[in-house]
Amino acid sequence: MKKESVPLLDPNRQYVIGTAGHIDHGKTALVKALTGVDTDRLPEEKARGITIDLGFAHLSENITIIDVPGHERLIKNMVAGVSTIDLVLLVVAADDGVMPQTREHLDIVRLLQIQHGVVAITKVDLVDEEWLELVSEDVRSLLQDSPFPRAPIVFTSAASGQGIEQLREVLLNELARVPSRQDTEVFRLPVDRVFSAHGFGTVVTGTVLGGSLKSGQQVEVQPSGRLSRVRGLQTHEQEVGRVRVGFRAAVNLADLTLDQIHRGDVLTEPGRYQPARQINARLW
């Protein structure tokens, strides 16, 4: 099925899905089966056969999938990917079952208070029905302490195509249940990717968590306090004049070099936020 045939849900909103799961459980292959996009873009990722950095693909005109790495040493990249998502796609390989990073990623999802999820059990063509039933029971048990204990579980195989259409339908149904983000009316965009585009200069991407942003507007980069002007905006590879809360955005910034802004920085309205050096926390 082509991306154009996927329903738009609410055309006035954008939705972000993030993958989660253990290394080599088939997250990237599943995203490619759903979207046609191979999110492993780095030469090292191709050579090693694992996801290292965040990857991005579009399920439709207003649905983005962020593919995250599963390796335990790349957990900070995983956190950057899922921190602003609406729904998590938890991937568990049928031949491996629940593994350490399955649990760790689900713990992170719980801490970030992501309330909606779908489970894809992948590589089902490699196991028999009896083993698949055992894995399903383990997954259902794991979900009991999660924010979505009754999340749908879909059996899939990226190699054969089994379950891909069903998974797409389930994702759309679950996204339809996700409430709109509450708008603080103050612009804020955590940066999850920084790169240079030929002829444009520095570009950052992220999800707008509050307010809106227009081309030509001035922004402040926190925590450095550097100021910049928005040269251009894109959402889902389309040039736009404005992005608002919930939108994925690519922001072309003037007068900033690649070493002056980093993943984890936040674009804000000038003068509205200040970095803090202390926090109050309750641990339990």
* Catalytic sites, residue numbers: 24, 27-28, 71
Q: What is the rounded distance in angstroms from the CA atom of residue 223 to the CA atom of residue 276?
A: 9
Collect all residues with Cβ–Cβ distance below 8 Å to 33 and sequence separation of at least 6: 156, 158, 161, 164
> CA separation (Å) from 161 to 123, 156, 228?
10, 7, 46
Buried b (16+ CB within 10 A) or exposed e, 117-150: bbbbbbbbeebeeeebeebbeebeebbeebbbee
Q: Which two tokens stand for residue 230?
A: 């928005």
Strands (E), 63-200: 63-67, 87-93, 117-122, 153-155, 188-197
Place of tokens 């984890």: 264
Would you say 246 and 180 are in contact if contact means Cβ atoms under 8 Å apart? yes
Sign of CA dihedral 188, 79, 204, 27: negative
Q: What is the rounded distance in angstroms from the CA atom of residue 256 to the CA atom of residue 267?
A: 13
Q: How many CB atoms lie within 10 A of CB 116?
A: 18
Place of tokens 């708008």: 183
Residue (of 62, 60, 101) closest to 82 by Cα position: 101
